[in-house]
Amino acid sequence: MVFFENAPAKITLSVDVLGKRVDGYHDVEMVMTTVDLADRVALTSLEVDYIDVSADNQYVPNDERNLAYKAALALKNKYHITRGVRIDIEKNIPVSAGLGGGSSDAAAVLRGLNKLWDLDIPLSELADLGASIGSDVPFCVYGSTALASGRGEIIEELSPPPVTWAILAKPNIGVSTRVIFNQLTLENLPHPNTKRILEAINQQDFYKLCDHVGNVLETVTTSLYPNVQRIKEKMVQAGSKGVLMSGSGPTVVGLVEHQHKAIRIYNGLRGFCDEVYVVRIIGYSTTC
């Protein structure tokens, strides 16, 4: 039996870093949501106790380093499952882009195996298990819109944001989240106003949201990769109302209220940037 699970990309609407913790992680405050660019994860139950993973992307490992593999192993170990699974990942989300592709694949495996193996584990428990795989996995387990705190693993679900369209522009570089956090200087950070962002979401106020989006990690990524700053500027010039980098980058997100405008900006950016997508913000869970 083959079971398909959607693994949507996440974008950040704000990323704030509050301080460094004794365990080496940073305390963050992030507002995240999902878009309709997604990987497709096929799960085939195996009678033998074995996990087989393969992804159709040269930058993704086909072994125990794959976050989807780690998710299946964590689930099997925690719930003493002796069955196996074959995981085939159709990668549509760019890799190392700040769009949480690997975390979303891992979350899709947790949700999918929960159904395939009739485990009936509540999402909150899957999210806790996901935190042992990566800080963004709990958010991806819910796959909605959320305020993430702690090291990113504490999830408070929110209503979907008012914006409906986004342009994603990814320059041809991959960014390591660990490298960006390691180089972050906590003094004089341009903190986004998370409270105002939450208000804008509550009030479904697109323009207020756009006024307050922001990402403190841009201070590092744009200094390492000046092209990210250039793409941000192009995105503003082209008419995006809110512009920020997603996660640790390098993907730049432009927010607009109408599809025709998103397509116009997409066409303008295509000559300038290697990978550009027009996506719709989903922002609510389509997973259960």
Binding site for ligand ATP (CB under 6 A): 55, 59-61, 65-68, 89, 95-103, 105, 136, 177, 247-248
C-beta of 95 vs 263, nearer to ligand ATP: 95
Annotated catalytic residue 56: no
Q: How far is the CB of 37 from ligand ATP (least distance, A)?
A: 11
Q: Which residue is nearest to ligand ATP (CB)?
A: 102
Q: How far is the CB of 51 from ligand ATP (least distance, A)?
A: 13
C-beta of 60 vs 216, nearer to ligand ATP: 60
| Cα gap 181→188, rounded to integer Å | 15
Q: How far is the CB of 221 from ligand ATP (least distance, A)?
A: 11
For residue 148, give the nearest of 25, 27, 62 by alpha carbon. Answer: 27
Annotated catalytic residue 91: no
C-beta of 137 vs 265, nearer to ligand ATP: 137
Pairing of strands 84-90, 51-55: parallel
The dihedral sign for the CA sequence 91, 2, 51, 120: positive
Q: How far is the CB of 75 from ligand ATP (least distance, A)?
A: 15
Q: Which of 10, 70, 76, 232 is catalytic?
A: 10
Pairing of strands 2-20, 214-215: parallel
Separation of first and last alpha carbons in the chain: 19
For residue 253, give the nearest of 210, 193, 286 by alpha carbon. Answer: 210
User: What are the distances in angstroms from CA 166 to CA 21, 265, 277?
Assistant: 33, 10, 8
Q: How far is the CB of 104 from ligand ATP (least distance, A)?
A: 8
List, in sequence order, every beta strand (DSSP E) within the chain: 2-20, 26-46, 51-55, 84-90, 145-149, 154-158, 165-170, 214-215, 242-245, 252-256, 275-280
Q: Which of 136, 232, 234, 261 is catalytic?
A: 136
The dihedral sign for the CA sequence 46, 52, 55, 56: negative
C-beta of 228 vs 238, nearer to ligand ATP: 228
C-beta of 39 vs 206, nearer to ligand ATP: 39
Q: How far is the CB of 212 from ligand ATP (least distance, A)?
A: 21
Question: How would you label 24-59 residue by residue, b for 16+ Cβ within 10 Å and e otherwise?
Answer: eebebbbbbbbbebbbebebeeeeeeebbbebebee
C-beta of 126 vs 238, nearer to ligand ATP: 126
* 165's tokens: 């369209």
* 156's tokens: 């408070």
Positions marked active-site: 10, 136
